[in-house]
Amino acid sequence: MKTQLAAALAALSIITCPAALAHGEAKARHGGVVQLAHDLGFELVVRGDVAAIYVDDHGKPVDPAGMSGRLTILNGTQKSEAALAPAGDRLEAKGVQVAKGARVVAALTTADKKAMTVRFTVR
């Protein structure tokens, strides 16, 4: 009887308690592709020949001042690279061609010299 009661209570607690999610689902705020890495959110946005990366810390924008990096773009068999530099609230690489399906790797360095790599697949 005690075993059945314990099982019933356990089942009831599973049904009535919502699931806890560590960070929730990453959502694009600028219309791009989002990846989570290094406990931060990174959103890659491509407009014309400019690729921008927005960085946030649990929904709060991170100031990119002092950050730098390099963007590597793999469009099929073609590979290109461009420097990333702060541009207001984001990092930007200009003069790039990013097609749908391209793989993009951002190698970033923070202001305190921490290295990070973030990988995207453009949809």
For residue 4, the surrounding DSSP H or E stretch is: helix 2-16
Low-confidence ranges of the chain (pLDDT < 50): 5-24
Residue-level pLDDT at 109: 96
Residue indicated by tokens 């209570």: 9
What local confidence, expressed as pLDDT, does residue 18 receive? 42
Which pLDDT value is given to residue 3? Answer: 56
Spell out the residues 6+ positions from residue 9 whose beta carbon is closer than 8 angstroms to its own. Answer: none
Q: Residues 6 or more apart from 50 whose CB is under 8 A from it?
A: 92, 93, 94, 96
- The secondary structure element, H or E, covering residue 17 is none
Amino acid of residue 78: Q
Report pLDDT for 1.
59
Token pair, residue 93, equals: 């690489």
To the question of pTM greater than 0.85 for the whole model, the response is no
Report pLDDT for 13.
Answer: 43
Residue type, 87: A
